[in-house]
Amino acid sequence: MKVRVLITVKLQPGASRDEIVGFNEGVLRVKVKAPPERGRANEALVALLASCLDLSPTQVKILRGHKQRRKLVEIWGIDPETLKLRLRG
């Protein structure tokens, strides 16, 4: 059975380092070094989430908010409890 999780992410591009800040009121705050140009920050977000969750980047997809800081992200192959544990650690 494939498990799909949807999370809302608030992305801060142009940060000093790539970092998952944590959940705040149900929204995951993430910082990436990449600038918000030509999709670089979005690519960095997908790569960072995939790495932290031990998933392939193909399992992480931005559904909405490609040009906004607030994004809806779809993640396949991980249950919600495991996702929250890995992103907190």
Single out the residue of 64, 53, 69, 50 nearest to residue 10, CA to CA: 69
Distance, in Å, from the CA atom of 82 to the CA atom of 86, rounded to the nearest integer, reads 6
Record the pTM.
0.94
Per residue in 32-77, pLDDT (tens digit) is 999 999 999 999 999 999 999 999 999 999 999 999 999 999 999 9
Report the pLDDT value the prediction gives residue 89, as an integer from 0 to 100.
57
Single out the residue of 81, 54, 68, 59 nearest to residue 8, CA to CA: 68
Q: Which domains are delineated in the chain?
A: 4-88 (3.30.1200.10)
